[in-house]
Amino acid sequence: MQARIQNPAMLLPDAAKAINLLYKAAHSAGVPTSTLELVHLRASQINGCSACVDSGARSARKAGETEERLFALAAWRETPYFTTAERAALALAEAATRLADRADAVPDEVWDDATRHFDEKELSALVLWIATTNFFNRLNATTRQPAPQIWG
């Protein structure tokens, strides 16, 4: 696949700076890095963003994630590999990524489960990271950015 244009975030330096600030904010709130990596990868799988799936899997692996868990992520509900907190974060990521799939985009049961595992600051980081991932996915899919994708 060939990109339609260079990645917009790289063409606009102020955008790259803002993205790096979002990344830093989401990763400094106390949510385990492994959870953020899984959330990013799962949302990217749903959105079919090859660049983010590739970079997300590589980043998760570099952060110590096992191949077993990475291979099973798309079917996380049917596997024993994920903690209850990770499951709550993954359910939140799926709901927040698939906003149009139901009348109540993020059902109370999904939100309430997440609140049992994460405090307000951590929930804020998760929501911000899910939104940022969806932002990445839309940039890359729209402009057909190929994998691997390198972010500055």
- Domains of the chain as residue ranges with CATH: 30-142 (1.20.1290.10)
Contact 102, 135 (CB under 8 A): no
Give residue 148's pLDDT band: very low, low, confident or very high (50, 70, 90): confident
Residue 110 has pLDDT above 90, yes or no: yes
The pLDDT of residue 150 is above 60: no
Question: What is the average pLDDT score of the chain?
Answer: 94
Report yes or no: 60 and 37 within 8 Å, Cβ to Cβ: yes
Phi, psi (rounded to 5 degrees) for 116: -75, -20
- What is the pLDDT averaged over residues 133-137? 95
Residue 96 · residue 127 · CB < 8 Å: yes
- Cα–Cα distance, 33 to 68 (Å, whole number): 17
Q: How far apart are CA 80 and CA 150, in angstroms?
A: 32
Report residue 87's pLDDT band, with 50, 70 and 90 as the boundaries: very high
pLDDT score of 11: 85
CA 39 to chain centre: 4
